[in-house]
Amino acid sequence: MRTYAKGSYHYAKACCLQQICTENLRSKSVQKAGQIITNDKILVYAQNLCRKGAEMEKVILTGDRPTGRLHVGHFAGSVRERVTLQNSGIYDKIFIMIADAQALTDNAENPEKIRQNIVEVALDYLSCGLDPEKSTLFIQSMLPELAELSFYYMNLVTVSRLQRNPTVKSEIKQRNFETSIPVGFFTYPISQAADITAFQATTVPVGEDQLPMIEQTREIVRKFNEVYGDTLTEPTAMLSENAACLRLPGTDGKAKMSKSLGNCIYLADTEEECRQKIMSMYTDPNHIRVEDPGQVAGNPVFLYLDAFSRSEHFTEFLPEYQGLDELKEHYMRGGLGDVKVKKFLNKIIQSELAPIRANRKVWEKDIASVYDILNKGSEKAREAASKTVDDVKRAMRINYFEDVALIKAHAQKYANGMK
């Protein structure tokens, strides 16, 4: 249910309608400023818009596809920020989704891959500090309401609009779907809109590549509210303040970390696995000797330092430098070897991953509790989504069995012999 600040336009409108509803509930309809307002419409506005004196809830929805274990790119780009947001107390509700249904849109023939990675993602979430007492962790496919909302929203979006979505076009090309696009994959922006609006999310943390998806959700919300009345919340995208965190390259310098390319540092990697991957990272190919000037721009080692290094890391691990800018300047003018920089990066990453590894070992000994957290979270998430579905169906006037006035009117109509 949406709520509004006291004194706002929507608050005043809701209170007015609530009063009308109270005074005229028994009548078939009321005349207000020359406009007929039916009891059903009054109820839609009263239930969706009015909660006296309360501010609109701040709600976050975010999540990941369970196609593999999470890596440091996920951690820097989203998971670390989720923990901060969770503990900030700023948001009233935080929903974190394991998007298995979405992952099946391009893994339909390999559902076991998704099935096995549900727990891997959940373990990574919990190990990083996501707290089920503060954030609702749930599995997407456990909420049939999301599919129902997607079905209704499909009528508000054209095929040509989906085809123009830059993210859809890019991912179709990336997966070689140009000649044979699965419908589920093609309509992903619609299902994502269902995911977001099901919880009336006000904020959606995303990477820059997902901004077109959020904009399409906003379009769907505006269209729905225009056609059926003010029911859904228009979300806002949240980008990381550190641009380096938005998309870390693979350790081989490729544009994206990928399990198939073997260029990921996983949160669950052992200390030695992590060290080996960092020490073999791609750097500036022209920086052959220590004295050679090096290139910082596009250099994966320095991109990782941009994402992870803090002033205290220099104090603890590399005190001869005041900070990252000084380290970069030395590398660019020559005299600083790749091995020294990689060793520094390794110490930073190890310090970040050490508590995560320790937490994971604890959770791995109690997998039953992990599934219980997901089960309870899915039940809680479904309860929230169910309320939105009720609001949507009421706004669309397809809530036939709860519309007492409709049933009574039809009964009277046919009792009087009318056709």
Please report the pLDDT score of residue 11 as a whole number.
Answer: 45
396 burial level (CB within 10 Å; 0-12, 13-18, 19+):
middle
Q: Are 184 and 111 in contact (CB under 8 A)?
A: no
The reported pLDDT for the residue numbered 244 is: 65
Q: What is the pLDDT of residue 23?
A: 45
Tracing tokens 């559902």 back to the chain, one arrives at: 111
* pLDDT at residue 51, as a whole number: 38
Distance from C-alpha of 189 to C-alpha of 227, rounded to nearest angstrom: 20
Q: Give the per-residue pLDDT at 55.
A: 60
Q: Give the pLDDT score at 128.
A: 98
Q: What is the pLDDT of residue 416?
A: 80
Dist CA 314 CA 321 (whole Å): 7
What CA–CA distance (Å, rounded) separates 349 from 227?
A: 51
Grouped pLDDT means (10 residues each) for the chain, 419 residues: 42 49 42 41 50 67 95 93 95 97 93 97 98 98 98 95 85 76 88 97 89 94 96 93 77 82 93 97 94 94 95 96 96 96 98 97 98 98 98 96 92 81
Let me know: does 194 contact 258? Beta carbons within 8 Å: no
Distance CA 82, CA 75 (A): 9
Length of the chain: 419
Domains and CATH numbers, the chain: 1-55 (no CATH), 59-247+369-393 (3.40.50.620), 271-363 (1.10.240.10)
* Contact between residue 407 and residue 415 where contact means Cβ atoms under 8 Å apart: no
Neighbours of 98 (CB within 10 A): 28
* Residue 89 DSSP label: S
Please name the residue that has the structure tokens 């969770």.
86
User: What burial letters (b/e) apply to 255-284, b meaning 16+ CB within 10 Å?
Assistant: eebeeeeebbbbbbbeeeebbebbeebbbb
Tokens of 102: 């979405």
- Per-residue burial over 142-161, b = 16 or more CB atoms within 10 Å of its CB, e = otherwise: bbebbebbbebbeebbeeee
Q: What is the pLDDT of residue 7?
A: 39
Integer Cα distance of 193 and 208 in angstroms: 17
Confidence at residue 208, expressed as pLDDT on a 0 to 100 scale: 81
